[in-house]
Structure 1
Amino acid sequence: MTDVYLSLGSNIGNREGYLKKALYELSKRSMVIKSVSPIYETEPIGYKEQGKFLNIAILVETKLSPHELLNTINSVENSLGRERIIRWGPRTIDIDILLYGAKSLNDNDLIIPHQRMWERAFVLIPLKDINPNITKDDVKVEELINALPDKDGVKLYKKDWYKVE
């Protein structure tokens, strides 16, 4: 079993409902959810003509390989109505693999660690909530967050909203 950190976001319809549905679907597909961050509300990045996102980070344990995990995530996104029409556009659910154990991977389909995670406060702030000891090049996640210009745009939306069983 491998510990994997995922980032989830939603900005269409019942955003919190989509996060809950995604957690339920992931838990049915060869993953054990070990920890879930509070929900944060954030402004969109890239394509700005859309609503605010709700974002979380989760820690799961899985036997799936990185590519099997990616396929599973894509299946969950599709089952929840994810459409890829506009790059960085509105979506019911977006699930990204942030970290897969200590593994590094870079191929046409998958890059681990996630290539832009260290630049995004909406990813790092929830990640810090579930593991404040994560580092990049021996720099703690808290210091990485403090260096980001968009950190003040990440607002706590709901704490203690999901119970891990």
Structure 2
Amino acid sequence: MLIVNTETCIGCGICEANCAFGAITLEDGIAVVGDTCTLCGSCVDSCEVEALCIEGAEKKAPVDLSAWSGIWVFAEARHGKIAPVAFELLGIGRQLADQRKAPLTAVLLGSDLHDKTDELIAAGADKVLLADDPALAQYREDVYGKVLEHLVTKYKPEVLLAGATAIGRSVIPQVATA
């Protein structure tokens, strides 16, 4: 439950402006929470006077991101062929990696793709992480998601780029949530 401390609220309207769901309004100079609140927390994060809090939610310590570095591109492949979007992303990823002075890594999942890594290097990747296994021959969201999650946790990239394809849109939210 989102709680408004009426003693602290100054009625600035920042929470109302930051609520993507239109759940907060100002009434008599005080924030009021409506039924459409999803407890996303964006209003809590934006409140400079800390007048809002989510009941039962403990404030988490900030995550140390200093160990996370590098730009990754999820190089989607189907039927033994790298998707064109992977090459587009490598071009953008190369620019971003150069700006950040970070390595660019292509991540390739599938089966019998050993001969495809040179294509990714030629397209701008500094290195390729290849997960090549018969279990990855056919795309399965849960399996690909677990493999990507493991790689991200182990190697800690700063950015992971993926195409807005059916595969990208299904697997990347799972990885992001994890």
TM-score, L = length of structure 2: 0.28
- Richer in strand (by share): 1
- Decide which structure has the larger Cα Rg and report it: 2
TM-score, L = length of structure 1: 0.30
